[in-house]
Amino acid sequence: MVNAPVSAAVPIGSSRSARPGKKCDGDDWWGDAIGGRAGRRYDQEMILSRQTRIFESSKKGLGPAVHSPVALALLFAFGLVVRLQGSAVGAPPETAPGTASGAAQPRVVATTTVVADLVRQVAGGRVVVDCLMAPGIDPHSYKATPRDVDRLAKANLVIASGLHLEGKLSELLSRLGRRVPVVAVADGLPRDRLLEVADGLWDPHVWFDAGLWSLCAPETAAALTKLDPAGADVYRDGARDYAARLVALDDEMRAQLARVPKERRVIVTAHDAFRYFGRAYDVEVVGVQGTSTEAEAGLADINRLVDLVVTRRIPAVFVETSVSDRNVTALREGAKSRGHEVELGGRLYSDSLGAPDSGAETLEEVLRANLQTILQGLGGPQDRLDPVTQP
């Protein structure tokens, strides 16, 4: 599986780019960021273009663009420090600590914590990785701030997950791709390995199938090699090692979950992020919300799941670290009103990795933590399964 050929990751904004999902129209992200002054809307492409022109003017000295009030306002709003003889957008970042040669390292912006981990595992410290979203952030509803636009515009490479996971960033990333290389690693996965949620729309939570996510490692290596050809061997070896570890973890998870009786191998979660997990490890998965947290669950959805939990005597339901537990709480209360006590099986990591010192700061740690939580939750209070063997 590690060496299986897969379609190349698709740069966002190219003619081959598969951009499933509805087109995001202009969000009031600028207004949200600066307090919504007079409800003004700013087109993101215009701001990026304006920012580029300001930097180009700064290279030539104090020109009209820098003198104008609008330019100065933009500089302060973005928090940019423009040296009069400084660098333009896309210039090499400052040298990272510990760079022996003194040469600047490429700066790669990853949209989510899962993607940032992928890049770190493959790059082996050869690039500076800047994760756009902090741990615990829901990527479905994330809106870019002016500072985010600045970080993206200064990157040498942007790596996204894709498949419309970063829903509200899709339009911005597409426009950014005209100036900075932007690659969505999951967009290059074979379509016959993806789960369709609607016509032309695919479930983006592919990392919960460890074997499937391993296919993103060589695609990441290819993108990094194009940016930094001198590091080709490092990226190739890093991708091979990481993919091999994921495939081994895939086998481990399958073996552990097979120990749970088939009729009890059901997980109910806050939103439908675990369909790939369910398919890969033969677990029935039910989400209160759909694959995107943008879709609100209604009363009928809650009542339907209460019927399921009560009828099948499901012992536990699970909340998620990056999603509100409001709907899961309503589900438990509904089941209790019908005479069935449902345990809170625990908190699962879904769209984000854990915070520093959480013990779930990498995808491998997250998958093992989730596996342990699910095994214990489905095992019931009197017959907990043996702990998962940690590496």
pLDDT, tens digit (0-9, with 9 covering 90-100), for 247-284: 999 999 999 999 998 888 888 887 678 999 999 999 99
119 close to 219: Cβ distance less than 8 angstroms: no
Residue 313 CB contacts under 8 Å (≥ 6 apart), including other chains = 340
Same domain, 330 and 283: yes
Q: How far apart are CA 114 and CA 350, in angstroms?
A: 10
pLDDT digits 0-9 by tens, 189-205: 999 999 998 888 999 99
Please provide the DSSP assignment of 34-63 as one string.
HT-GGG----HHHHHHHHHHHHHHHHTSS-
Residue 325 CB contacts under 8 Å (≥ 6 apart), including other chains = 270, 319
**41 is a domain residue:** no
Residue 192 CB contacts under 8 Å (≥ 6 apart), including other chains = none
Residue that terminates a domain, selected from 220, 249, 278? 249
pLDDT digits 0-9 by tens, 161-170: 999 999 889 8
Residue that terminates a domain, selected from 200, 225, 249? 249
- Which backbone phi and psi does 242 adopt, to 5 degrees? -65, -45
* Residues β-bridged to residue 261: none
Classify strands 157-160 and 107-110 as parallel, antiparallel or unpaired. Answer: parallel
pLDDT digits 0-9 by tens, 304-320: 888 888 888 888 888 87
Classify strands 10-11 and 107-110 as parallel, antiparallel or unpaired. Answer: unpaired
Q: Does the structure show a pLDDT above 50 at 16?
A: no
Q: How far apart are CA 311 and CA 318, in angstroms?
A: 18
62 close to 54: Cβ distance less than 8 angstroms: no
- DSSP code for 104: P
Give the strand order in the sheet containing 128-131: 10-11, 182-184, 157-160, 107-110, 128-131
Residue that terminates a domain, selected from 249, 284, 305? 249
Identity at 115, one-letter amino acid code: V
C-beta atoms surrounding 39 within 10 Å: 7
**44 is a domain residue:** no
Same domain, 267 and 232: no
What is the average pLDDT across 34-50?
A: 36
Same domain, 335 and 288: yes
C-beta atoms surrounding 259 within 10 Å: 12
| Residue bearing the bigger pLDDT, 316 or 73 | 316
Same domain, 302 and 334: yes
Same domain, 133 and 233: yes
Could you tell me the pTM of the whole model? Answer: 0.70
Same domain, 187 and 208: yes
Share of the chain above pLDDT 90, in %: 46
Q: How far apart are CA 384 and CA 147, in angstroms?
A: 47
pLDDT digits 0-9 by tens, 94-127: 334 433 344 689 999 999 999 999 999 999 999 9
Long-range contacts of 326-332, Cβ-Cβ distance < 8 Å, separation of 24 or more: 327/270, 327/288, 327/289, 327/297, 327/302, 328/268, 328/269, 328/270, 328/288, 330/302, 331/268, 331/288, 331/302, 331/305, 331/306
Residue 227: give the domain boundaries: 92-249
Same domain, 118 and 204: yes
Same domain, 134 and 231: yes
Q: How many domains does the chain have?
A: 2
| Residue bearing the bigger pLDDT, 344 or 338 | 338
CATH number at residue 195: 3.40.50.1980
Q: How far apart are CA 267 and CA 316, in angstroms?
A: 8
Q: How far apart are CA 132 and CA 112, in angstroms?
A: 6
Q: How far from chain centre, in Å, is Cα 299?
A: 29
What totals of helices (H) and strands (E) does the chain contain, helices first? 14, 11
